[in-house]
Amino acid sequence: MARVRTNIEIEDRYLQAIMDRFSVRTKTEAVDLALRHLAGRP
């Protein structure tokens, strides 16, 4: 699967909640996890 670079504005409290809850270390990992979850991918 190809990756793309983008600039987005995200509510910091949501991003931090994902990072804390799922023990991910980077913002990129947190966004990737959330997008995969919403897309129905493991």
d(CA 27, CA 41): 19
d(CA 5, CA 22): 23
**pTM of the entire structure?**
0.81
Apex 41 CA angle, 6 and 34, nearest 5: 45
- Tens of pLDDT along 16-38? 999 999 999 999 999 999 999 99
Confidence label for 41 from pLDDT (cuts 50, 70 and 90): confident
Residue 2 CB neighbours (<10 A) = 3
